[in-house]
Amino acid sequence: MRILLIKMSSMGDVFHTFPALSDAQAAISNLKVDWIVEKSFAEIPAWHPVVVKVYPIELRKWRKHPWRYRADIKAFFAQIQQHNYDLIIDAQGLLKSAWVMRKLKGKKVGLDWSSAREPLASWFYDVKVAVDKNQHAIWRLRELFATALGYPLPNSQHIEYGLNTQSWQPLENLQQPYVVFLHGTTWDTKLWPEERWGELGQKLAEQGLNLVMPWGNIEEQQRALRMTENIQKALKNNLHPEGHKAWSNLDSINTHKFIWVPEQQLSLNEMARCLKFAQSVVSVDTGLSHVAAALDVPMVVLYRVTDPLKVGAMGKKVQYLNSPLASQYIKQFHSSEQEKTSLAGLSVQQVISTWQNPQSLRS
């Protein structure tokens, strides 16, 4: 059986789909999946062994200039139509994914009017599936796939991402043990203050842990470099004669000995390898937190103004810290008091306590 999957973005949405694929692979022995995904995430689907072919789509660019890219659009869909699919599943439930679906030939399945994020998308499906919206996206997708492909939804609450990472090797630059700081995110209101990252980094470095601070744009790179400098200064100022020998001469050692800020932006494959071999991860609400969750890396995720209950990173070794405003999806603070409240429950000590809690390291 060969199906075509439409799940284009975002990074979190893409990772939420893997457990459903693992369910389907276990239920259907001859299953093969081709996947339409945004070009920026094209490396990811192939990490699952049931995925045969990935079709990178540049929908965002096409929607802005459809006439300019009409030849590219035509060629893209002509390539897909060379295959006959038993089923086409829209796992996104948006008008943009329905637009892609409409241009394809085959039996089309998606969420019904009451289940889709954008109900009008359901008009384009031959088979409409009802799924409870009041549950995490992972469970919604598992239910959609089970109904669409005709197998019973597994009763187990266990999540199996099923990624094929056995051949992955650690990045050469990194020294064990290291902790990854995922400090970058899309909204300013989701950020954790730099001074708190700095304090946390200092405490972990004093324990002999190396730190990794990846970045995805110039702003994040500059933040990582500032935090590195501040951590170095704090360590130097707090040194004692009997202190850890690794920090005994900060003026002469290479920063990369214990804090690594990549000179170049890491690819998704490199970033995933970095996360896979980390001792632990501390993250704000960002797409890369879902990568770490899928790789079973012990992680603490800080939810300042977003709610993890429906779209949070989910995995066996993931721990959450929520502020009182975590369910409100605030993109701009309206007062200094609101901003202060959004950091309640997200102190450095609470992160350390959660990180050291055996529950965060459970296997």
83 part of a folded domain: yes
Question: What is the tally of structural domains in the chain?
Answer: 2
Mark whether 182 and 135 lie in a shared domain: no
Mark whether 198 and 137 lie in a shared domain: no
Q: Distance (Å, rounded) from C-alpha 128 to C-alpha 97?
A: 15
Mark whether 96 and 199 lie in a shared domain: no
Mark whether 145 and 184 lie in a shared domain: no
Q: Distance (Å, rounded) from C-alpha 200 to C-alpha 137?
A: 31
Mark whether 121 and 214 lie in a shared domain: no
Mark whether 122 and 10 lie in a shared domain: yes
pLDDT tens figures, 155-196: 877 889 999 999 999 998 788 899 999 999 999 999 999 999
- Whole-number average pLDDT of the chain: 90
Determine the average pLDDT of the residues in 241-255.
41
Q: Which residues contact 68 (CB under 8 A, 6 or more apart)?
A: none
Q: Is the pLDDT of residue 141 over 80?
A: yes
166 part of a folded domain: no
Residue whose tokens read 């890219």? 69
Mark whether 75 and 224 lie in a shared domain: no
> According to the model, what pLDDT value does residue 154 have?
87
Mark whether 301 and 225 lie in a shared domain: yes
Among 149, 164, 194, the domain-final residue is 149
SS3 259: strand
Q: Distance (Å, rounded) from C-alpha 163 to C-alpha 286?
A: 20
Distance of CA 231 to the CA centre of its chain: 27
Kindly report the CATH number assigned to the domain that includes residue 265. Answer: 3.40.50.2000
Among 104, 131, 149, the domain-final residue is 149
Mark whether 187 and 312 lie in a shared domain: yes
167 part of a folded domain: no
Q: Distance (Å, rounded) from C-alpha 23 to C-alpha 18?
A: 9
Q: What residue numbers bound the domain in which 121 lies?
A: 2-149
pLDDT tens figures, 249-286: 344 334 445 899 999 999 999 999 999 999 999 999 99
pLDDT band at 246 (very low <50, low <70, confident <90, very high): very low
Q: Is the pLDDT of residue 359 over 90?
A: no
CB 332 within 8 A of CB 269: no
Determine the average pLDDT of the residues in 78-91.
96
Mark whether 196 and 143 lie in a shared domain: no
The single-letter code of the amino acid at 44 is I
CA-derived radius of gyration, the chain: 22
Global pTM? 0.90
